[in-house]
Amino acid sequence: AQSVAQPEDQVNVAEGNPLTVKCTYSVSGNPYLFWYVQYPNRGLQFLLKYITGDNLVKGSYGFEAEFNKSQTSFHLKKPSALVSDSALYFCAVREPQTGANNLFFGTGTRLTVIP
C-alpha cells in the first residue's frame, strides 16, 4: 500500500535562508509525486510534480524538489525563504500500478519563516 511520511510537523527558518521540507514515500513501483501548499483559510495550491525524467523538478514561487529513488524521498526546497512562504505544505503520492487516481497525502509540515 502506498504511504507518504513528512517527518517534521514544524520547520522554522530565517528569512533569506534556504529551506527544506522533507518527504519520504512508500509505493510499489515508480511513484507520481506532488507538493501542495495550503495558506490559512484557503484550499491547496499545486506547487510541482514529479512524473518521470529529470530528478530535479522546478515549480511555482521558486520552489523545487529533488526525487531520490534510492532514498525514496522527494524533499521540497527553496534557496531563499520569504516570510510569505509561511504555510502548511503537503507531499502527496499516486501509485500508478494500482490504477488509483486519487492523491494520498502526508500529514503536512507547517513552515514558519522568521523575519
Partner 1 sequence: DSGVTQTPKHLITATGQRVTLRCSPRSGDLSVYWYQQSLDQGLQFLIQYYNGEERAKGNILERFSAQQFPDLHSELNLSSLELGDSALYFCASSVASRQYNEQFFGPGTRLTVL
Residue 66 in grid coordinates: 529533488
Task: State how beta strands 24-26 and 3-5 pair.
Answer: antiparallel
Nearer Cβ to partner 1 (17/98)? 98
Tell me if 67 contacts partner 1 by CB under 8 A. no
Q: Does 10 bind partner 1 (CB under 8 A)?
A: no
Residues in contact with partner 1, counted by CB under 8 A, come to a total of 24
Among the residue ranges 7-15, 19-27, 69-77, 92-100, the one whose residues contact partner 1 (CB under 8 A): 92-100
11 binds partner 1 (CB under 8 A): no
Please state the closest distance from residue 107 (CB atom) to partner 1, in A: 5
d(CA 92, CA 106): 6
Q: Which of residues 17-56 bind partner 1 (CB under 8 A)?
A: 32, 34, 36, 41-46, 49, 51
Minimum Å gap between C-beta 115 and partner 1 is: 27
- The answer to whether the beta carbons of residues 101 and 94 sit under 8 Å apart is yes
Distance CA 1, CA 104 (A): 10
Q: How far is CA 100 from CA 2, 12, 31, 51, in A?
A: 10, 34, 12, 15
